[in-house]
Structure 1
Amino acid sequence: MAPGRLTEDVYAHIDARLAEVDARVAGLYPGEPPGRQPVHTVYVPAGRFHPELAGRWGAQAAAALAEHGPLETDDAIADRVRAKLAAEPIEDLRIDFEDGYGRPDDDTEDADARSAGAALAESVAGGHAPPFTGIRFKSFEQPTRRRGIRTLDLFLSGLLGGGDLPGGFVVTLPKVTAVEQVEACAEVLEQLEAAYGLAAGALRFEVQVETAQSILSEDGTVAVARIVQAGGGRITGLHYGTYDYSAGLGISAEYQSMEHPAADFAKAFMQVAAAGTGVRLSDGSTNKLPVGDTPAVRAAWREHTRLIRRSLERGFYQGWDLHPHQLPSRYAATYEFFRAGFEPAADRLRAYASKAEGGFLDEPATAQALAAYLCRGLDCGALTAADLPDLDRATLDRYVRRA
């Protein structure tokens, strides 16, 4: 290299000046975490959970598809959807002790917490559990805090009495109204690890963004950015809560939806706050269920498909499903999204790798995004290795890591 006018002392001074900043940025923004992200989270009230629930949901979804189909998609995607419903109908299951469960007396919830944990252990041992599982307990607000912590404790007692902590296990903290609640949740999880002999950091959690205070603090600062850091490295995801958030803003029930401008505002803040941190995002749910006669079911499928596609286009690769009949539209919309774009994405990545001239002048960040898109398609079953014969997973992963 040709010598410049600046001495080595200047370079060394700037390196030293920014060393602390370099370490802080590297710690706060590690990038996309390794491993698969589920395309949805299914919430099931604790009283309805049983060890073979995932298979039952798949059978119900397949029966609805046989009765009310076909889906408005091509035959190849429809075949993939049917195969998915038979093999892995639920990717992520959350056993719900919050809104979907209600507030029974303490003895009832104690018993349900233990039995639900034991049932999940049985499901895992029998090979029936989805790849990702967990529990949503009541919030850390004062009226429900002790009940939520106790339920989590008893659930873990039932779960760990029947085996090890499942891989992909995560707990859900709802209705955050102060960043300190997130810090307290991380502290409780640390105490539970010690109590049950779990490895440090084994218990991870996701935060539901379903209050205005989760976006903006009382002092005008952006709460969601502080929430991401308040978990002490334990937070895996931010999940948007469509109806609690909308209701809290005074939006009329008729207009509460995943695509309301207020929802987009909140989710844009979530997206910016989580970018680069390794915390993943999930959109919320629609309460328009595919039930009733065939015209009603098909109309709900169309609406669900449209909303899922909208979320995917905006970089929210996960959402909530609340009913078995939503599974066909979840997978059809997801598979259409990845199959429609995988060939152009693969072509652009090949051109980038070979430095060939084409219709795009892509940069390393774009190559990373193209590879991540293809990896997501492989993870959910929309794509197979046969679709990308010259782009194996190891190659794609290197681009995702920008190695």
Structure 2
Amino acid sequence: MGQQDTVATSLAGAVSEAVSASLAPVDAELARRYPGDPGTRQPVHTVYVPGEAFAPDTLRSWGDAALAALDQHAPDAAAFAAVLGLPEELAAPVHDRVRSKLEREPVEDLRIDFEDGYGGRSEAEEDEHAARAALLVSEAYAHGTAAPYTGIRMKCMEAGVRDRGIRTLDVFLTGLMRAGGLPEGLVLTLPKVTYPEQVSAFVRLLEAFEKAHGLDAGRIGFEIQIETSQAILAADGTAAVARMIDAAEGRATGLHYGTFDYSACLGVSAAYQASDHPAADHAKAVMQVAAAGTGVRVSDGSTNVLPIGPTSKVHDAWRLHYGLTRRALARAYYQGWDMHPGHLPTRYAAVFAFYREGFEQAAARLAAYAGREGGDVMDEPATAKALSSYLLRGIDCGALDAAEVARHTGLTRADLDGFAAPRRGDLTP
């Protein structure tokens, strides 16, 4: 076409304007319901400790116990790699980073448990433990010794324990406010949610607390724990978990799968209750689809096989935990639960191996995409988003160093953030 030629069209501008006007409510609804990932760090795990057992040295004691387990049952990189089946080129990098992580930041997300892991306690005892937890959490954040994310799991909103759960929440949050305010890493977990109305009621509680203390509306978010079949499939055949996210009114930060309660709810025999059971895969797939695009993250559950006893039993438990964690990562469940210090070495080994083994290929593909270069894979904006998110997760947990990512990609952290959180329209190829 010459410079004087014009492109021909048939539709008047008013047609496009009318279409846009008709879709304006849809545009607003998409922006509200599906804002995309928040771009914040997601911990690779959540560690649960009973409310009465939480102490100032809990994190350090978990790290020390995990290091002691390594020293006893896999004293060097070669031994650890042999247990887990790591390739030779990953043995030293993974082992060294696992040890460094356990020394520096053994726990990424701590949940002080006042539900199943807490047991039966008197009203006075639970009040005391909740108040003490608030004080210890405040002190840990003030001294820089807290996990990046910390909070409590209170009792659920079912009638038999509702009042006690509300009181524990109130005691804990009030204690934090009296000690200096709510920490940035505060996380609350609402367990055994069955109906969206329970989520709505919890939102009303948080609203009341925020108003009582002059906090910004929406300051306090929470995770929804999926432990009942009714949370996945409601009586009317709808996906209740999707309605729960909506009922949270923007406060939901995560959906956490409860392996054993959910399995028992479906009648799965105890010997077969595991995060790789078909029932678990179905529940997490529904959770994943319901949460996609909403900014709510999905977490896998836990294993109850503890790495304790003679070395042979520890190795068996390690291989099981490592395999389950790698399986979850491949399915885009980037977080799980750890119930024992002995699980920390294999949690981090699995996570670090996952990011290090795919690092160079992901970096090369993203660099080619950013530079508009050709290659043997034709990537789209959505793939660039996945590649940059992969690298960012690796950096955040310690599997990758920001400097090595920059060397391989030529991109800054800000560049990676930009690819990881594009505007909705930018994902259209």
Instruction: Tell me the TM-score normalised to structure 2 length.
Output: 0.92
State how 1:225-304 maps to structure 2 within 5 Å.
Answer: 225-304=242-321
AA of the residue aligned to 1:327: L
State whether structure 2 residue 414 is matched by structure 1 residue 394: yes
Deviations 1:187-241 (A, max 9, x none): 1011111223332212110000110111111111110111111101000000000
State how 1:301-380 maps to structure 2 within 5 Å.
Answer: 301-380=318-397
Q: Which residue number in structure 2 is paired with residue 11 of structure 1?
A: 16
SS of the residue aligned with 1:93? strand
Distance 2:315 2:277 in 1: 23
AA of the residue aligned to 1:147: R
Distance 2:8 2:251 in 1: 47
- Contact map agreement 1:351 1:358 (CA 8 A) in 2: yes
Q: Which residue number in structure 1 is paired with residue 178 of structure 2?
A: 161
Unaligned runs of 5+ in 2: 1-5, 424-429
State whether structure 2 residue 29 is matched by structure 1 residue 24: yes
Deviations 1:23-51 (A, max 9, x none): 10111111111211000000100000012
State whether structure 2 residue 44 is matched by structure 1 residue 39: yes
Runs of 4 or more above 3 Å deviation: none
SS of the residue aligned with 2:117? coil
Deviations 1:237-293 (A, max 9, x none): 000000000000000000000000000000000010000000011000000011111
Q: CA deviation at 1:157?
A: 2.3
Unaligned runs of 5+ in 1: none
State how 1:134-145 maps to structure 2 within 5 Å.
Answer: 134-145=151-162
Distance 2:128 2:403 in 1: 48
Q: CA deviation at 1:357?
A: 1.9
AA of the residue aligned to 2:9: G
- Contact map agreement 1:50 1:120 (CA 8 A) in 2: no
SS of the residue aligned with 2:80? coil
Deviations 1:302-327 (A, max 9, x none): 11000000000000000000111110
Q: Which residue number in structure 2 is paired with residue 71 of structure 1?
A: 80
SS of the residue aligned with 2:400? coil
- Contact map agreement 1:308 1:330 (CA 8 A) in 2: yes
- Contact map agreement 1:51 1:128 (CA 8 A) in 2: no
Distance 1:109 1:163 in 2: 22
Distance 2:180 2:313 in 1: 43
Q: CA deviation at 1:352?
A: 1.3
Instruction: Tell me the TM-score normalised to structure 1 length.
Output: 0.98
Q: CA deviation at 1:158?
A: 2.2
- Contact map agreement 1:55 1:128 (CA 8 A) in 2: no
- Contact map agreement 1:290 1:296 (CA 8 A) in 2: yes
- Contact map agreement 1:282 1:318 (CA 8 A) in 2: yes
SS of the residue aligned with 1:254? helix
Deviations 1:358-395 (A, max 9, x none): 11111100010000000000000000023222122111
State whether structure 2 residue 193 is matched by structure 1 residue 182: no
Q: CA deviation at 1:169?
A: 0.6
Q: CA deviation at 1:126?
A: 2.3
Distance 1:24 1:157 in 2: 35
Deviations 1:328-352 (A, max 9, x none): 0000100000000011011111111
Identity, % of aligned positions = 56
Distance 2:214 2:371 in 1: 51
AA of the residue aligned to 2:352: Y
Q: CA deviation at 1:2?
A: 1.8
AA of the residue aligned to 1:331: Y
2:188 to 171, 182, 202: 171
SS of the residue aligned with 1:320? strand
AA of the residue aligned to 1:153: D
Distance 1:113 1:385 in 2: 38
Distance 2:387 2:10 in 1: 41
1:50 to 18, 38, 55: 55
Q: Which residue number in structure 1 is paired with residue 103 of structure 2?
A: 86
AA of the residue aligned to 2:171: L
Q: CA deviation at 1:160?
A: 2.3
SS of the residue aligned with 1:49? coil
* Number of residue pairs aligned between Structure 1 and Structure 2: 403
AA of the residue aligned to 1:393: R
Distance 2:231 2:404 in 1: 41
AA of the residue aligned to 1:203: I
Larger-Rg structure? 2
